[in-house]
A = this chain, B = another copy of it.
Amino acid sequence: MKISFVQAGGTMDKIYPRGAMHHGYNFEIGDPAFARILQKVNPRFTWESFSMIKKDSLDITEEDRKQLVQEIEAMKDDKIVVTHGTDTIHLTARKLSLSSKTIVLTGSMLPEKFYESDAMFNLGMAVAAVQTLGAGVYIALHGEVVPWREFRHEESNLKVVK
């Protein structure tokens, strides 16, 4: 079995830059957290890593999304895990929804670098889902794996009010 992992930015990959140039409160997007996690897990499957977007998901543009879809479609493999910021994960999922691959998007509420992070659990969910589910686009978050259309965004009920 082979799984391709795509970095699309988001909280999971946020780091706190260390050193003289950094002042203040800002995070940056670092190397993909999935690589650190998979090293701990030492999985039996083959995997490949692709870094496509390094942004907070609120900063991802429609152009970014279009290009992400093209690059994923151009991949030979059909089991894809995408790590993505949670704020707009459903928008990227929708853009990917015509794909004939099995694509599972996940993210985390805290950066993987935090010892209390949910990143490792969520990536585990995505890895299981991408191998047990058929073609389609899914979101694995908050302990649930759902087809992208059924994803309930954390803040959706607040936003409906307006």
Q: How far is the CA of A21 from the CA of B116 in the complex (A)?
A: 20
- Asked if B126 and A56 sit within 8 Å, CB to CB, the answer is no
CB-CB under 8 A from A114, the residues of chain B are 16, 113-115
Q: How far is the CA of A117 from the CA of B131 in the complex (A)?
A: 22
* With contact pairs A23-B58, A144-B45 given, residues A16 and B110 touching in the complex (Cβ less than 8 Å): yes
- Asked if B20 and A11 sit within 8 Å, CB to CB, the answer is no
Q: How far is the CA of A18 from the CA of B26 in the complex (A)?
A: 15
Smallest CB separation, A47 vs chain B (Å): 8
Cβ of A72 within 8 Å of any chain B Cβ, yes or no, is no
A binding-site residues for B, Cβ under 8 Å:
1, 11, 14, 16, 18, 20, 23-28, 37-38, 40-45, 56, 58, 87, 109-111, 113-118, 120-129, 131-133, 140, 142-145, 154-155, 158
Q: How far is the CA of A28 from the CA of B24 in the complex (A)?
A: 10
- Asked if B144 and A43 sit within 8 Å, CB to CB, the answer is yes
Smallest CB separation, A9 vs chain B (Å): 11
Q: How far is the CA of A117 from the CA of B28 in the complex (A)?
A: 17
Closest residue of chain B to A23 (Cβ to Cβ) is B58
Give 12 new A-B contacts, CB below 8 A, not counting A23-B56, A23-B87, A124-B125.
A16-B110, A24-B58, A26-B27, A41-B118, A42-B109, A42-B143, A113-B115, A114-B115, A125-B125, A125-B127, A129-B132, A131-B144
